Amino acid sequence: MGTPEQNSNYRRIAFIILIIPFLFLLFLSWRCTCSYRGNIDERVFPARWKNKVSHEMEDELSSTRTVNKFTCQTPNAWLPHASQGSGSGHGRKWPNGIVPYKLHCSLTFDDRLQVQKAFEEYHSKTCIKFKPWDENDQSFISIEVDNRVCGKANVCKNGGYQFVKFGRNCRNTATMIHQLGHALCLGHEHQRSDRDNFLNVKRCYIRKDGPMAKLYAEEPKRLYDYASQMHFKCGSCPFGNPTKPNVTKCGRQITQGLSVLDADHINALYDCQGCFRHRWLPIEYLTDQDFKDMYNFGYNSRTGSPLYPCRAQIHGEIAIGKYQKVDKTCYIPSLGKETKLQTNVEVLLIPGGLNQFGKIYQLVKKYEMGISPFLVPGGRQADQVGLGLFYIAFGRLKNMYGEMEGTIGKYSLENDKVFFPLGGGEQGSEDFSLLTCRKE
């Protein structure tokens, strides 16, 4: 028997000897759960070997880490196909747009920040809600780091566990937004069946890999979106070159977030309500019920015909103008002129009325806005890096006959300029109203 102090030390040593194997097993279990940690450099080339790596391999490795080298490894077989429409895939939509998620332990603190920014992009522009998983959730997405891929995700809601992954030097907000889009049933914009009307991929056929396959048809056929976060960069094979004037960039070359058309597509796909319930519908699909959901807010043409907001792709823009039911024409302001279009045009609908459960669509004078309400975006500027959004503006201008005539156009908040179509030209104004939605 030793002294009390010696006995105490013996007990400490015994406890440490007993606890070490347990901690070791716990560590091994954690390593198995988090099999893809760190960056690709650390996994493939430990620091002590870095000087032995050839220049050629360094170049190849660095090329996988550039933003422009973003590739999505979600297989074509998982994506929506022509027989399924644009919003199906092999699974179902998430009920009420609520997506339970788990954050895998392979995510670093910065990874989690990127994921949270991606969530906020969806929360601010759509009714989609990503919520932490709880025991009542049988289906969920697991957000993980996997340095074998740039980005990959299960498409739609498949039931039970499914993953959304990013890795390598693609561990950023834009990649996560793209992969979450797949989880929500979105396909690739550049794989639409009509993409050859917007991208020139002819020279890509001489390459071994060829152009990206065309997978699905849009019904109803919405406007093609060069700025979609679901569009790969353009200007090289296998993605092709834009064929429309004033378009040189695509996808994340334009914006790191959801485009206006991305948000509108998701809100329609998930039948979002509240201030996300407005819809843009191609004019060839309009029904009698749709006309009841169109609002002119008291703005009429010189002859008294009601005017409604419309939009179209022109000169690289998604431009906003006025639609007249009487001649089935959308009048768009662009490059100083008023252009008349009767195809590839969408009209604004507000199903459920202007006031639905206290969420009110209304016009607000630009100079009376004060604390900005929710402005309803409808378009974007050509090749504008960043937001470059157009909002829906209503105005009354003097026409060539000296009469005040109603019109609808586009307003740029960034440039604080408004453009209206009138009398064959494009006009500005200091006195106009903007379409907003607010909570009563």
Instruction: Pick out the residues of the known binding site.
Output: 178, 182, 188
Distance CA 350, CA 264 (A): 12
3-state helix, strand, coil in the chain (%, to 5): 30, 30, 45
3-state secondary structure of 345: strand
Rounded-to-integer distance, Cα 328 and Cα 341, Å = 9
First to last CA, the chain: 81
Alpha carbons 257 and 229: distance in angstroms, whole number = 6
Bind-site residues for Zn(2+): 178, 182, 188
Q: What region, left, alpha or beta, does residue 344 occupy, with left being phi > 0 and alpha being psi -120 to 50 degrees?
A: left
Beta carbons of 361 and 378 less than 8 angstroms apart: no
Joined tokens for residue 40: 């690709």
* Cα–Cα distance for residue pair 140/119, rounded to 1 Å: 15
Pairing of strands 140-145, 161-166: parallel
- Token pair, residue 178, equals 């793209």
Bond before 309 cis per omega within 30 degrees = no
How many degrees, rounded to 5, is the angle at CA 239 between CA 236 and CA 241?
A: 60
One-character DSSP codes across 164-226: EEE-GGG-SHHHHHHHHHHHTT---GGGBTTGGGTEE-GGGGGSSS-SPPP-B--SS-PPP-T
Q: Rounded to 5 degrees, what are φ and ψ at 365?
A: -60, 140
Cα–Cα distance for residue pair 111/304, rounded to 1 Å = 56
What are the two backbone dihedrals, phi and then psi, of residue 314, each rounded to the nearest 5 degrees? Answer: -150, 130
Residue 348, SS3 per DSSP: strand
